[in-house]
Amino acid sequence: MNRCPGVSPDGFSWTLLDVPPLPSQDTSQLICDDIGQRYLATVKHRTEWGRSAWLVTSPDFVHWTDPLLILHTYEIDQENRKQRIQEVVDDPA
């Protein structure tokens, strides 16, 4: 599921920009960094650790950087997840 940047003068009427979409396989967040004078988006991509958070930035909302990995789980998280799932399967109450 990709994110297609759009702009709106009033928050009701939107125009999609003719730019490549921001690739994301799950939820994403977009913020305006006034201090750094850029836009920041966190997107999710699958890695060996599952879905991981990546950062893309843009100075103009049109040209975006390649995704940079910023957050992922570790082996202990994977083992904990398997244990929690098994506990629910064994006792759904």
- The Cα–Cα gap between 66 and 49 comes to 20
Determine the pLDDT at residue 35.
Answer: 96
Could you identify the residue written with the tokens 């759904």? 92
For the chain, give every domain's residue range.
2-90
Determine the pLDDT at residue 77.
Answer: 72
User: pTM for the whole thing?
Assistant: 0.70
Q: What are residue 22's DSSP bridge partners?
A: 3
Which uninterrupted H or E stretch holds 75? Answer: helix 75-90
Amino acid at 3: R
SS3 state of residue 69: strand
Determine the pLDDT at residue 68.
Answer: 94
Determine the pLDDT at residue 93.
Answer: 79
Longest dimension (CA), the chain: 53
Contacts of 28 (CB under 8 A, 6+ apart): 3, 22, 41, 42, 43, 44
One pLDDT digit (tens) per residue for the chain, 93 residues:
678 888 899 999 999 989 888 888 878 888 999 999 999 999 988 888 777 899 999 999 889 999 999 988 777 777 777 788 888 899 887
- The Cα–Cα gap between 19 and 29 comes to 18
